């Protein structure tokens, strides 16, 4: 792989940009791999990357039914933060956020990580107490956040209307090193690095069966033929239930549509990310100037990657109250992704009833921020066969044991 650098750009500029390599290879599948990962979203690719980088396991294939990064990874609103309430969450999300800080250098690929700051507005007394509690929890966890008052909110984000009639802004939980990154670039950067390590990324290849014998996986059947493997990792987000059914076990997961939309591009007006959980909306401004907006999930099981119009209408209606200037903006595009929701709104990084099969799912509405940390923890689990400290609390067995990692109260909203 040729490295990207200022020198490389200069050299290519002088010879008409004819010397760039393809970022990754598109090989046909081989008959056997040490590890097969199903799903080339951010989490699958990051798992493969850290298998190679941290554990020296490079005979790896990543099998993807569509195109890499075409699932939720390429459909999300890219908010990165780690101000969760529970200790296991703070640990893995903060690991992830800190990996984002240097990811561009690590991958030699510009993922445009922008730690512009994330604020979660407190618009009810309940939220004020909740976020003060989270700020204290974060202090103990070593996650840098602060509870700020309304004046500071207005200073950081002048377009907010803090004296709204229904939901005035009473304060906010502020994480100065939270922010956004370019979603496609995260998938592309990991893919390029995996391909460079000799791993095979096999796109347009749907897994149709999980082959097994005596309680162990022997391989998979795909639309491009059978592939044998020593270990299987299932990292397919909304389709986790389908893969689990193929493998013969059940999951505490439901798949719902989550939508997002962007406005026409306007001049820079907001250089932080704002989440308003009571009214269910969040917003940031992209480098192109579009206001990037998201809200809550739709209510029913859905695999169509489309949502219902009234949900985005509710989101925009709510945001207009807090950001009156939005009312004159035209919305340009709207789309949906299928998110994998668990009962406690926390992910699953876990062994399965099949000895050499592992699953990573349940990131639901908030797994983009977790891509590097989740890949790190999943690679560790797959390499050693038992979960390390980051993954230990996120096992499938927590539902039976009643050890929930309850983030539904803390996070409240999708993001």
Partner 1 sequence: MLTLHCPHCGTLAAETELTAGGEAHLKRFGPGSDDDSFEGYLFMRENPKGVHFERWRHSYGCGKWFIAARCTATLEVFGTYPAQSSAPPQHIRDAITARRPGWGWRDLA
Ligand X SMILES: Cc1cc2nc3c(=O)[nH]c(=O)nc-3n(C[C@H](O)[C@H](O)[C@H](O)COP(=O)(O)OP(=O)(O)OC[C@H]3O[C@@H](n4cnc5c(N)ncnc54)[C@H](O)[C@@H]3O)c2cc1C
- Please count the CA atoms within 13 angstroms of the CA of 105 that sit on its side-chain side: 5
43/280 with CB nearer ligand X: 43
CA 93 to chain CA centroid, Å, is: 10
Min dist. Cβ of residue 63 to partner 1 (A): 18
DSSP β-ladder status, 60-63 and 32-38: parallel
Closest CA to 279 of 317, 313, 248, 309: 317
d(Cα 340, Cα 301) in Å, to the nearest integer? 10
Report residue 184 as tokens.
């496609």
Our finding on whether 78 is near ligand X (CB under 6 A) is: yes
Determine which residue in the list 37, 53, 76, 182 makes contact with ligand X, applying CB under 6 A: 76
Query: Of 307-326, which residues contact partner 1 (CB under 8 A)?
Result: 308-310
Placement of tokens 């993954």 in the chain: 391
Our finding on whether 63 is near ligand X (CB under 6 A) is: yes
Min dist. Cβ of residue 70 to partner 1 (A): 17
Determine which residue in the list 368, 387, 407, 410 makes contact with ligand X, applying CB under 6 A: 368
Contact (CB, 8 A) for 49 and 57? no
d(Cα 358, Cα 126) in Å, to the nearest integer? 39
Our finding on whether 395 is near partner 1 (CB under 8 A) is: no
Our finding on whether 234 is near ligand X (CB under 6 A) is: no
User: Which span sits near ligand X by CB under 6 A: 22-30, 128-136, 150-158, 362-370?
Assistant: 362-370
DSSP β-ladder status, 291-301 and 253-263: antiparallel
Determine which residue in the list 78, 83, 123, 302 makes contact with partner 1, applying CB under 8 A: 302
Contact (CB, 8 A) for 394 and 347? yes
Site string for partner 1, 346-385 (x = CB under 8 A): ----------------------------------------
d(Cα 139, Cα 134) in Å, to the nearest integer? 8
Query: Of 180-239, which residues contact partner 1 (CB under 8 A)?
Result: 239
Our finding on whether 184 is near ligand X (CB under 6 A) is: no
User: Which span sits near ligand X by CB under 6 A: 62-70, 114-122, 155-163, 309-317?
Assistant: 62-70
- Summarize as ranges the residues that interact with partner 1 (CB under 8 A): 239, 241-242, 245, 250-255, 299-304, 308-310, 343, 399-400
């Amino acid at each position: 792989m040729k490295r990207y650098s200022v020198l490389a750009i200069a050299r290519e500029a002088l010879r008409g940009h004819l010397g760039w390599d393809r970022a990754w290879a598109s090989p046909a599948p081989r008959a056997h791999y040490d590890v097969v990962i199903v799903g080339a979203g951010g989490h699958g690719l990051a798992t493969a990357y850290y298998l190679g980088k941290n554990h020296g396991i490079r005979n790896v294939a990543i099998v993807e039914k569509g195109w890499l990064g075409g699932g939720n990874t390429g459909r999300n609103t890219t908010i990165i933060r780690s101000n969760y309430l529970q200790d296991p969450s703070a640990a893995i999300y903060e690991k992830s956020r800190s990996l984002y800080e240097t990811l561009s250098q690590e991958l030699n690929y510009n993922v445009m990580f922008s730690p512009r700051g994330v604020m979660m507005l407190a618009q009810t007394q309940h939220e004020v107490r909740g976020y003060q509690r989270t700020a204290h929890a974060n202090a103990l966890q070593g996650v840098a956040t602060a509870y700020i008052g309304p004046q500071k909110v207005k200073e950081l984000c002048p377009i907010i209307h803090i004296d709204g009639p229904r939901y005035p802004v009473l304060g906010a939980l502020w994480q100065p090193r939270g922010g956004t990154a370019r979603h496609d670039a995260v998938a592309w950067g990991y893919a390029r690095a995996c391909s460079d390590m000799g791993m095979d990324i096999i796109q347009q290849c749907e897994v149709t069966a999980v082959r097994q014998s005596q309680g162990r996986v022997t391989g998979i059947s795909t639309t491009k033929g059978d592939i044998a493997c020593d270990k299987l990792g299932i990292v397919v987000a909304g389709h986790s239930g389908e893969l689990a059914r193929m493998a013969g076990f059940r999951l505490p997961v439901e798949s719902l549509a989550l939508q997002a939309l962007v406005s026409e591009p306007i001049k820079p007006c907001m250089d932080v990310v704002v989440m308003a959980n009571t009214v269910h909306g969040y917003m940031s401004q992209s480098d192109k100037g579009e206001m990037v907006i998201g809200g809550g999930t739709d209510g029913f099981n859905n695999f169509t990657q489309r949502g219902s119009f009234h949900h985005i209408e509710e989101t925009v209606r709510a945001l207009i109250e807090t950001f009156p200037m939005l009312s004159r903006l035209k919305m340009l595009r709207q789309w949906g992704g299928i998110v994998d929701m668990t009962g406690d709104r926390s992910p699953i990084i876990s062994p399965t009833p099949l000895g050499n099969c592992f699953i990573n799912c349940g990131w639901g509405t908030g797994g983009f921020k977790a891509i590097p940390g989740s890949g790190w923890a999943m690679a560790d689990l797959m390499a050693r066969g038992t979960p390390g400290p980051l993954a230990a609390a996120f096992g499938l067995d927590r539902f039976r044991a009643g050890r929930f990692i309850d983030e539904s109260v803390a996070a409240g909203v999708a993001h």
